Amino acid sequence: MRTAVIGAGWAGLAAAVRAAQAGEAVTLFEAARTPGGRARRVVAEDGTVLDNGQHILIGAYRATLALMREVGVPPDAVLLRMPLALRFADGGGLEVPAGLKPPMDLLAGIWGARGWTLRDKYGLVRAALQWRLRGFACAPGHSVADLCAPLSARVMAELIEPLCVSALNVPPGRASGAVFLRVLRDALFGEAGGADLLLPRADLGALLPDAALAWLTARGAQTALGRRVQSLAREGARWRVDEALFDRVLLATPAWESARLVQQARLPEAAEWLGAARALGHEAIATVYVTNAGPLPGGRPMCALRSDPHRAPAQFVFDRARLGGPAGLAAFVVSASTLARDELQARVLAQAQVQLGWSGLRVLQTLVEKRATFACTPEVQRPGMEIAPGLRACGDYVAGPYPATLEGAVLSGAAAARP
């Protein structure tokens, strides 16, 4: 079977690997010259190797970690594992201890949260137990803010808001409560170590894309980087991708690009899919890379920041020197970013001065993914995988249990590649 995979992001790479494992003749198309999609390597003007955004994996990413191993990347060699810690520079916040099984580790972390009152802790424990008793389900229209209304302002600011904006990329007032509960269930109440943070200590290309391309090439797959597919058309039971015919096509491009190709194919049965893909809202993520940064408190590789959408926009800072980068390099992450670039940089530098005591910073590069994720809002209607016979979509935006994450992309790609 001849299979075309259009898009070499993490979903497309997963789809291509699974299709090749099934014995199919795979051709992988990618418009960019660098694979990885929205999780790829970039190089600054001075030659410093960066990423187009700072990503975090977690221990519960079983599909992603398995795929890395299959293409020859040992996760322990490229990822720094540490217990879930949302510590702020002033020492406040929560840290889940290692060595305990869920949910005892979370309960221990709540009990030891610095700066929290007994009322703060009791309210969170009570809410978490209620979520568990209800099977981590809520009304489809509930937002995270609705779900967490009984919690104190401190718990919201130091735990719920950072978790929500990092996982769903929308603030609690607009974020889907149902999806947030699914993330909490699988990460905090699932397997031991599921909530562990896995911080890349190599560039994103070295985590999966480079090895996946080499694995595919070694098994006879054709790869076409730097080639944007211009046309898609159905011919009988087969599909024409530009000038070549394939038995099936897996669209692993972003929602808007997949919609462009589906529209070109003029498929009467795809009207509903097209409507859902085009109706998706999107959120931006900005990463501000700075040099001349000092170490983070306690020598940690990452630190949570007290954020405000306008005055202090960054939610996290990463010491890239601790993660394999050059000395003095740090990355500030701004999820749900709305500020113009110059204003964003100025406010991040001011935030670093106030909260970390860092002065003399120089902005190396600011990378903004304007449509980094779909907006994971209550009752959002995501398009499904099946478009037409022999034509499927995959990606972190396709209907599934998770928000726009690497794990969601890999799971979607693997599902689309099945016969």
Answer whether the bond into residue 103 is a cis peptide, omega within 30°: yes
pTM exceeds 0.75, yes or no: yes
Per-residue pLDDT band for 310 (boundaries 50, 70, 90) equals confident
Q: Is the pLDDT of residue 327 over 90?
A: yes
Give the mean model confidence (pLDDT) for residues 219-224: 97
78 has a pLDDT exceeding 90: yes
Q: Which of 54, 95, 92 is nearest to 319 (CA)?
A: 54
Model confidence at 253, in pLDDT bands (50, 70, 90)?
Answer: very high
Instruction: Indicate left, alpha or beta for 256 from its phi (over 0: left) and psi (-120 to 50: alpha).
Output: alpha
Average pLDDT (290-315) is 94
Q: Which of 403, 407, 396 lies closest to 7 in space, CA to CA?
A: 396
Q: How many CB atoms lie within 10 A of CB 231?
A: 11
Crossing angle of the two packed helices 10-21 and 62-70, in degrees rounded to 10: 60
27-38 pLDDT, tens digit per residue, is: 999 999 999 999
- Looking at the predicted structure, is the pLDDT value of residue 75 above 90? yes
Per residue in 163-197, pLDDT (tens digit) is 999 999 999 999 999 999 999 999 988 888 999 99
Percent of the chain residues past pLDDT 70, beyond the cut:
100
99 pLDDT band (50/70/90 cuts)?
Answer: confident
Q: Flag the least confident range among 9-13, 78-82, 112-116, 140-144.
A: 112-116
Helix 209-218 / helix 62-70 crossing angle, nearest 10 deg = 50
Q: What is the pLDDT of residue 366?
A: 97
Residue 273 CB contacts under 8 Å (≥ 6 apart), including other chains: 262, 383, 384, 387, 393
Confidence of residue 270 (pLDDT cuts 50, 70, 90): very high
> What pLDDT does residue 190 have?
85
Q: Stretch 316-335: mean pLDDT, rounded?
A: 97
The CA-based angle 392-398-400, given to 5 degrees, is: 120
* Assigned token pair, 96: 């889940």
pLDDT of 309: 83
Q: What are the pLDDT digits (tens) for 1-13?
A: 999 999 999 999 9
Report the half-sphere exposure of 224 (CA within 13 A, side-chain side): 15
Return all residues near 314 (Cβ < 8 A) that are at least 6 apart.
288, 305, 307, 332, 333, 334, 348, 351
The encoded tokens of residue 153 equal 């302002």
Tokens of 125: 């424990």
pLDDT of residue 98 exceeding 90: no
Q: Model confidence over 371-405: pLDDT tens digits?
A: 999 999 999 999 999 999 999 999 999 999 999 99
pLDDT at res. 192: 87
Check pLDDT > 90 for residue 60: yes
What percent of the chain is modeled with pLDDT above 90?
Answer: 95
Chain mean pLDDT for the chain: 96
pLDDT in tens, 339-354: 999 999 999 999 999 9
pLDDT tens readout for residues 130-157:
999 999 999 999 999 999 999 999 999 9
